[in-house]
A and B are shown apart, each in its own frame.
Chain A
Amino acid sequence: MKKYIAERLGTALVTILVIIFVLFAMMQLMPGSPFNDEKLSRELIEKLNEKYGLNQPIYVQFFKYVKNIAKFDFGISYVINKNISINLMLKTRVPTSMRIGLQAVSVGAVIGLLLGIIAALKHNTFWDNLTTVISVLGVSVPSYVFALLMLYFFAYRLGWFPLLYTKTEPFRSSLLPTFALSMFTIASIARFTRTEMLEVLDSDYMLLVESKGISGPALIFRHALRNALIPIVTVLGPLVVGLMTGSLVVEKIFSIPGMGALMTAAIQANDYNVTIAMTYIYSVMYIIIMLVVDLLYGVIDPRIRLAKEDSGE
């Protein structure tokens, strides 16, 4: 197992290096530079490129950057917050996006699982149909539509929640974005759970378990759900990263100072360092989550654990 994890970490490191290099190359291909503005003359642009070392060959810039990243120094922003350290910009943004993302994933996973289980157990009844309707809506309606609807009814009309995110009430003002973001997760998890549960409930071993006299929660959670979880965890992994790194539109609607908003701004402004820093964080989070998902497989299904240990030794 240890060797397996070490191998995965090694691959992860190489992947990150490749990602940074590809990003660097793509930045060079992107039209414009951070210093295009009506007001800037050519000589000023040249001086600015010199100041920030952007006139050096790409490989020199690349190695300098990797060296700094190893020290967790993402450099400074050129445009969005002139000459200010990106670490400082991310200090509050990363935790905010991650917290709201985790809230959304938790809400989404719990409600989605419950809905899926109910639908499977009450197959072809009102509850099943309701779950299907919720799933179709959740998957097909974009999260910003939910966000705007919730904003209008719950915050503006009823006044139950603050309209916009505020640091003075970080939890209460994050509830609406949490629900808006969790709709997609609820829908996809409910759908997967339902399908998987139906399959498991139909299987021979469930018949055996039932005939042994096991029933109630033990039957559902220990035997049925556990077997249905593998595909669900696979779907949940990328969703977790997607939500934790912040949603562009939902962050904009609720005016949340998160990572998603910063990422769009950085790309539009050609703010190279910020874009690379954000993508780097995104990649690292993705790789970590995928690693966790892989390890979770082992916990959920002993067969996978044993197979990996065999190949790992």
Chain B
Amino acid sequence: MKIAKKLAAVLLASLMIVSFGACGKKSGSVDNYIDIHINTEVTSLDPQEATDGTSFGVQSQLIEGLTGLDKDGNTEGLMAEGWNVSDDNLTWTFNIRKDAYWTNGDPVTAQDFVDAFQTLVDPVYNSEYAYMGYSIMQIKGSQDVFDGKADKSTLGVRAVDEKTFEVTLEYPCPFMLSLTCFNSFYPRNQKFIDSCGENYGTSPETFIGCGPFKLVEYEPSTETIVLDKNEKYYNADSVKLDGLRYHVIKDAQSAILAYENNELDYAVIDGSLVETYKDNPEFQVLYGSYLWYLSLNMGNEHTFKGSNKNLDYLKNLNLRKALMRAYDREAVANNVVKDGSIAADYVYPKGLASAPDGRDVREYVDAKTVYADCLYNKEEAYKLYEAAAAELGVTDFDFELVVEDNQQAQDVAAFIQGQFKDTFQGHVNVHLKVETKKARLADMNAGNFEIGLTRWGPDYADPMTYTDLWSSSNAQVYDDGTRSLGGGWDVVDPELSAEYDKKVKACKDGSLSIQDRWDTMMECEKILMENAIILPVYQKNDASLIKGNVKGIEFHAIGMPTVYRNAYIEK
């Protein structure tokens, strides 16, 4: 039939028109902007509200805190040009830069910091990071303010004059200047924020900053965020870039194609692609911060009311140590995760903090020698199992391991499952319970688990960000009023846990010298490791690709966002 031929011709012609019309130039980054890949959306531009690394990263290009890190990781003044601390180490006075301005021309004042610190612990505002103020920095009166027992005006912060900001603490804080780098302590231009009402932080018009870059394109959960150089920045002359562009790309394959196509200058890559790119000169591994570990529920009587034998078994030290030595952490990092992550035979991650003598924490205490009794060793693990089996009068164990539904966590859990089976010749089995992350956290918080694969990222560059997790200040309080420490280890060994608690308290109340405090925190790690209170697995690092002509990006290991203010593109 003639008509069919005509239709076929029309079809072909329209296809051709579409594809020719689509011909165009290949785009590439030729301008003076760095194109940055992020794999999650920014959840909030409000520093006192945000809780995730992506948001913190973008914020820190737009707003600066009192202090920051230089390229070597040392603290330097940003909004503060100088500071001093009283003899009792309780009162800190910061002098705000005379030439620091907000993007609308307002000067940055001491009051902006007073507003920020008050907002952080204000129970009405209810910041999820309020504990940074009342539990970590321990600002004077912060606990009462947060509990609603005192007005926020009673908080130990004040503007001595327009450019002098004073903070008073409950206890001396040896890592104060590292804390003031953190986003939760960034200044707030409250007058501007109030004028925006509920639209604050939702568009370039309703956002205000004081950092090296200013916001020019943004909307909530957008895929592209554009920042331009901020001419009002006090050190604008040193900023060589015209700006930054963030691109939210969730699919790893698409991101790598965009990088190869010069649409990105900096791409984060995941484990499946590391093998392909690890010999590429643009490949870099950045020390990440998260420690992944197995949390053991050592008898939260609260949840199982003694009906779960498994929790009683986990009270047995030999069994816990057997588990600790039964899986190959090097293999987890190098063969399973494969994204530059490293085996963790320790609690405090590499790159977390430096000892008073300047060495990294993992050089100060070499885990391979100090915790030699905790390392992977099949034979030793089996001997420990035999001892435990004799003590408990049980030969076969079957635990439930709760794990969240992301691929990496499941792969790691499945690998550990296999290693347990292999090491203990089938006598110790675990079965996996896969849940969404939210559900896993809900279950683990309620004590409703046996073994859990979980993680913790540091909030500040000090081992205390980990040490504190297993102290009484972090005790879990359940519905029926019972309390329990991490995994319930205070039930297992009340004496040891009390001793640990005493050490932590001493580290926090300023009674120890800097060296003694540091060594005490190292003793705490030793207690955790030797008693197998937690079973570390790996330290999550990030693999990324960065174009060779992009220079001067400053990466900071732990909890600190990447700094672009000194970055430039080589012509």
Contacts and interface: CB of A to CB of B under 8 A. Distances in A.
Contacts of A91: 219
B453 to A, nearest CB: 12
Contacts of B19: 160
B219 A92 contact: yes
Interface stretch (B20-28, B391-399, B495-503): B20-28
B514 to A, nearest CB: 27
A67 interface: no
Most buried by A among B11, B18, B436: B436
B21 to A, nearest CB: 9
Contact of A37 (B250, B254, B263, B441): B441
A80 B220 CA distance: 9
A219 to B, nearest CB: 8
Contacts of A84: 44, 201-202, 220
Interface string B188-227: 0000000000110110000000000000000111111000
A302 interface: no
Contacts of A31: 435-436, 438-439, 442-443
B207 to A, nearest CB: 12
B456 interface: yes
A285 interface: no
B254 A36 contact: no
A89 B131 contact: no
Given A118-B4, A151-B254, A175-B18, A160 B128 contact: no
A36 B223 contact: no
A252 B49 contact: no
Given A31-B442, A255-B251, A156 B257 contact: yes
B402 to A, nearest CB: 11
Given A36-B438, A255-B223, A256-B223, A127 B8 contact: yes
A268 B254 CA distance: 22
B254 A161 contact: no
Interface stretch (A15-23, A58-66, A109-117, A239-247): A109-117
Contact of A166 (B10, B224, B253, B456): B224
A51 B18 CA distance: 53
Most buried by A among B44, B441, B474: B441
Nearest to A32: B438
B549 interface: no
Contacts of B258: 163-164
A38 B439 contact: no
Contact of A175 (B22, B445, B477): B22
Contact of B11 (A38, A42, A114, A252): A114
Given A115-B11, A164-B249, A39 B51 contact: yes
B436 A81 contact: no
A85 B200 CA distance: 11
Interface string A113-130: 011011001100001000
Most buried by B among A111, A152, A162: A162
A216 interface: yes
A278 B103 CA distance: 36
B455 A38 contact: yes
B126 interface: yes
Contacts of B248: 255, 257
Contacts of A255: 223, 247-251, 254
Interface string B426-437: 000000000111
A33 interface: yes
Contact of B438 (A83, A115, A152, A269): A269
Interface in B288-310: none
Contacts of B24: 159-161, 172
A44 B254 contact: no
B438 A122 contact: no
A284 interface: no
B268 interface: no
A262 B443 CA distance: 26
Contacts of B1: 121-122
Nearest to B217: A167
Contacts of B198: 83, 85
Interface in B254-299: 254, 257-258, 260-261, 263
B220 A47 contact: no
Nearest to B441: A36
B223 A253 contact: no
Interface in A84-116: 84-85, 88-89, 91-93, 111, 114-115
A253 B19 CA distance: 20
A220 interface: yes
Contacts of A256: 223
Contact of A81 (B23, B43, B435): B43
Contacts of A269: 438
A44 B128 contact: yes
Given A47-B123, A121-B1, A255-B249, A38 B43 contact: no
B223 A118 contact: no
Contacts of A187: none
A256 B457 CA distance: 30
Most buried by B among A36, A77, A121, A257: A36
A254 interface: yes
Contacts of A115: 11
Contacts of A43: 477
A164 B247 contact: yes
Closest 3 CB pairs of A and B: A32-B438, A31-B439, A159-B26
Given A33-B438, A81-B43, A122-B1, 20 more contacts: A30-B439, A31-B442, A32-B438, A36-B438, A37-B51, A39-B51, A39-B128, A39-B129, A40-B128, A41-B474, A79-B43, A82-B43, A118-B7, A127-B4, A160-B19, A164-B247, A253-B253, A255-B254, A257-B222, A269-B438
Interface of A: 30-44, 47-48, 51, 77, 79-85, 88-89, 91-93, 111, 114-115, 117-118, 121-122, 127, 148, 151-152, 154-156, 159-167, 172, 175, 216-217, 220, 252-257, 261-262, 265, 268-270
30 contacts: A32-B441, A37-B51, A38-B441, A38-B455, A39-B51, A39-B129, A39-B459, A42-B445, A42-B477, A43-B477, A48-B128, A81-B41, A82-B43, A82-B44, A82-B46, A84-B202, A88-B202, A118-B11, A121-B3, A127-B8, A155-B257, A156-B257, A159-B26, A160-B24, A161-B22, A164-B263, A252-B251, A253-B251, A255-B247, A270-B436
